[in-house]
Amino acid sequence: MSNPFYRRWMVPALFFFSPMTLAQTPAAPVVVAAAQQAEVVQVVQLTGTVTAQRDARLSVAVAGLVESLAVDAGDHVETGEAILQLDAELAEQQYRAAEAAHARARHAMEDAQRRLAEARRLAPQQSIAETAVRDLESEVAEDEAELSRLRAELAYRKGVLDRHTVRAPFSGVIGARSVELGEWVAPGAAVMSLVSTEDLRLDFQVPEDYLGRVAKGNKVQFNLGADKENAYPGTVIAAVPVTDPTARTFLVRVVPTGEISGLLPGMSANVTLRLGDGQKGTAVPRDAILRYPDGRVIVWEAVSENGALVARERLVQPGFDFDGLIEIRSGLDENARVVVEGNETLRNGQALDARASGAR
């Protein structure tokens, strides 16, 4: 204690931390805001993808040689529009042969029906044997059966001929084309992909921790791609309660509320999901929270002591972060006033020159 160096520095140090010094320190200019009771909402940020309600890989129904291609990737097509034609020469010949056979059978049946009608007129006059009438009836029945068979054959050949033309099953955009002129294609092999640009929705995977809290009808906000400025509203239309065992997530599907120009399948989307059960809690503005590397989380409360407004450090347990507020689960009274500006260098018991948040 007799060390001169120690005596030189001890007194100023004691003087610096003394209450008298704090009292003499000028009041710190700060902005304060009142803690408030708010409905606590958990905000979950997720990344999803814009998907089409209809996304098909088109294939041919019959084998054949590609004769013509009417579209390419990026082309828009309408429902029923021809997009690919196979060489149908042999199918056309088979159809014509079936058509001729059907016509011949129809004429044979009509002739048999005419002869049967004449025989029935003569039968009462005993001008024709009853056996001949029955033979004609049998012939008509056979001709009718043959005509029915050939009618089905004709319809089959017409169907095969029609299937040499691939038509768009719905309107949309050709996503990719995987064949060229002259290629031989077989049933089941994809020749094109067709994606609908109508009735688009957003699909995103939600951690299984939220299973049961996301339900049909929940409202969301989402941004498209790198556009962080424009937020669009949407509604949950499906929450599939089956989790992916590898990712521990489940599918949630959202539809935009209203029309959005430029919305295309495959675009990325950043979705903000708000989950709440209607319960209220104490919340303070986000700027009131100070976090330290050692894990402490504090707020500075402005309290009246001996007629003066001073700062008091409060160790708090924060909860959910939402709408510019942070839920305070413990450590702060619900009627407290907290410092939201000028709180970085405050000391316990320091006088405050406070201005209410929003005041000028």
State residue 52's pLDDT score.
92
Q: What is the DSSP string of 205-219?
A: EEEGGGTTT--TT-E
How far out from the chain centre does Cα 133 lie? 72
State residue 25's pLDDT score.
66
Q: Which two tokens stand for residue 92?
A: 């056309």
Task: Examine the pLDDT at 16 and tell me if it is beyond 60.
Answer: no
State mean pLDDT over 32-58: 91
State residue 133's pLDDT score.
86
pLDDT tens digits, one per residue of 50-104: 999 899 999 999 999 999 999 999 999 999 999 999 999 999 999 999 999 999 9
Question: Any idea which fold 27-41+280-356 has?
Answer: 2.40.420
Q: Name the phi and psi angles at 188, rounded to 5.
A: 95, -20
What gap in Å lies between CA 334 and CA 310, rounded to an integer?
18
pLDDT tens digits, one per residue of 179-234: 999 999 999 889 999 999 888 999 999 988 888 888 888 888 899 987 888 889 99
Q: What is the DSSP string of 142-196?
A: HHHHHHHHHHHHHHHHHHHHHTTEEE-SSSEEEEEE---TT-EE-TT-EEEEEE-
Average the pLDDT over each of 7-11, 90-94, 194-198, 300-304 and give the range with the smallest value.
7-11
CA atoms within a 13 Å half-sphere pointing along the CA-CB vector of 300: 25
Domains of the chain by residue range: 27-41+280-356, 43-53+198-275, 58-167
State residue 358's pLDDT score.
64
Percent of the chain with pLDDT over 70: 92
Strand, helix or coil for residue 93: helix
End-to-end alpha carbon distance in the chain: 53
| C-alpha pair distances (Å), 229 with each of 141, 160, 304 | 78, 54, 42
Name the more confident of 225 and 5. 225
State residue 24's pLDDT score.
57
Average pLDDT of the chain to the nearest whole number: 87
pLDDT tens digits, one per residue of 335-356: 899 999 999 989 999 999 988 8
Strand, helix or coil for residue 288: helix
State residue 237's pLDDT score.
92
Average the pLDDT over each of 121-135, 160-174, 230-244, 273-287 and give the range with the smallest value.
121-135
CATH hierarchy code of domain 58-167: 1.20.120
CATH hierarchy code of domain 43-53+198-275: 2.40.30.170
pLDDT tens digits, one per residue of 141-169: 999 999 999 999 999 999 999 999 999 99
